[in-house]
Chains A and B, each alone.
Chain A
Amino acid sequence: MKPFDFARPETIEDAVAMLDARPAGHANGSALLAGGTDLLTLMKADLSAPDRLIDIKRLAELDNRIEEDEEGLTIGALVTLAQLEEDPRVTALYPALAEASSLAATPQLRHMATIGGNLLQRPRCWYFRNPHVHCWLKGGDECQARQGENQRHAIFDISPCVAVHPSDPATALLALDATVRLRGAAGERELPIADFFAPPTAERCTETIIRGDELIVAVRLPAAQGWRSTYLKAMDRKVWAFALVGVAAALRVDEGRVIDARLALGGVAPIPWRAEAAERLLAGSDISAEVISHAAEAALDGAQPLAKNAYKILLAKALVRRALMALSG
């Protein structure tokens, strides 16, 4: 890690002001420190070298609680994955999120990692993470994974970058129709998580649309009455690996008929991937093995595997079928 200053602002406003400001000698800007489980790995690999870390864990206004009201659940940005895994409201009403959290990383990391940081984590692509590779996502000319060892990479080609988004909870939140509340110099805004994530572009080499002066203050989930959900994850070993494929499914079923469906895939694209064609196919259908099978096909419609990751299509279809079977059973 390169040297940096350490600041502990009193208020969100101060934190935002610090993010916005670039004092002399701060050419690399500031970074927010919450759980640190992603940031420190980036800094240790010299992929990120902020001049200042802004510790936001102790901000009184920034919440580490989960609050329930009529409109749903508000998850403070500092809520840890361990809290999401264990909270009885989450496990009862939003099982996909609890399951995704419990399948992520390890107990130690789940105690440390916050939901805000989890949504903002950078890809685990082994080219991106290698200090010797100047890849496209780091401002280089080429995505080396495209012609390289891409067995763990994207099958939906939506960006010059083919890294996959590493978050399990993000996939679940997408299927649960969450919104993300941001605070920045221009005030607060809230947007659907589907709009919060966006594939990296030449102008914005990140996976979200968050602005440099913004931080996540909360994630909100709509009321879950009538919904069932689940999250399945395929890994290279039994635990403690990033998803080869993750599938979050949420269904509202009434007497065997799907009223509404949401399906999201992880490990397949630079951002959590919404399978809208499959959702449309499911909505209004009488759930059956055949419908599920069609939905699984539809979910992977448009996938364009790279040389070494066609297996992900089959794996994803299998998980989609399995998740939908579990919810319809």
Chain B
Amino acid sequence: MEPSRHLPVTLSVNGSQYPILIEPRRTLLDALRHDLGLTGAKKVCDMGDCGACTVIVDGKAMYACLLLAVDCDDREITTIEGLATGNELDPVQEAFIRADAFQCGFCTSGQIMSLRALLDANPEPDDDQILRAVTGNLCRCGAYPNILKAGRLAADLQAQAASNGQ
């Protein structure tokens, strides 16, 4: 067997730079979970069939399990760990608690990241846009109606925060 081929890569995650040495075959998901210790993104299917590993890459929601870490070296990555400011939750996180938008919580990071990406691109989504934003995130516990409520509530909370801030 050939010796493993490692490459130096610097990942930019949640505003911090992480220089790491990895094999090209390491996915972004494994790099986050193993090399960076950021275990909020979950490995469920590892084949792009579930959405639990959703992170935001250059402003867009993507599946970390189908991205190679070496392919992310000049991209801005945001994970669930990067949303809260200090102890203050992101409006989407806050909305998920208030709307009871989860049971087991294993898909929750991914759901939240999809809605975060939606609200970044479109702060005033309609109900259909909220639904479409989470069509790529399965929830086996079936918390879907409350996930949609949380999306609506998050948009409202964010709008309130914006108007209070002005």
Touching in the complex, A and B, CB below 8 A?
Answer: yes
Min CB distance A143 to B, Å, is: 23
In chain B, what residue has the closest Cβ to A37? Answer: B66
Query: Whole-angstrom distance between the alpha carbons of A216 and B5 in the complex?
Result: 29
Complex interface: chain B residues within 8 A of A3 (CB): 2, 4-5, 23-25
Name the CB-closest residue of A to B61.
A108
A248 vs B25: C-alpha distance in the bound complex, in angstroms?
37
- Residues in chain A near residue B70, CB distance under 8 A: 6
Per-residue CB contact flags for chain A residues 144-160 toward chain B (1 = under 8 Å, else 0) read 00000000000000000
Name the A residues within 8 Å of B47 (CB-CB).
Answer: 41, 44
Total A residues in contact with B, Cβ cutoff 8 Å = 27
Query: Which of B92-100, B101-109, B128-136 touches A?
Result: B128-136
Given that A108-B62, A108-B114, A111-B61 are known contacts, is A40 also in contact with B5, CB under 8 Å in the complex?
no
Contact B68 A106 (CB under 8 A): no
Please give the distance in Å from B64's CB to the nearest CB on chain A: 10
Total number of B residues with any Cβ neighbor in A under 8 Å:
29
A2: interface (CB < 8 Å): yes
Interface string of B36-51 (1 = CB under 8 A from A): 0000000000111001
Quick check: A40 and B66 within 8 Å, CB to CB?
Answer: yes
Q: How far is the CB of B107 from chain A (nearest CB, A)?
A: 13
What are 18 A-B residue pairs whose CB atoms fall within 8 Å in the complex? A1-B25, A3-B25, A5-B5, A33-B68, A36-B67, A37-B63, A41-B66, A44-B47, A57-B71, A106-B136, A107-B61, A109-B48, A109-B136, A111-B60, A112-B66, A112-B67, A239-B135, A240-B135
Binding site for B on A (CB under 8 A): 1-6, 25, 33, 36-37, 40-41, 43-44, 53, 55, 57, 82, 105-109, 111-112, 239-240
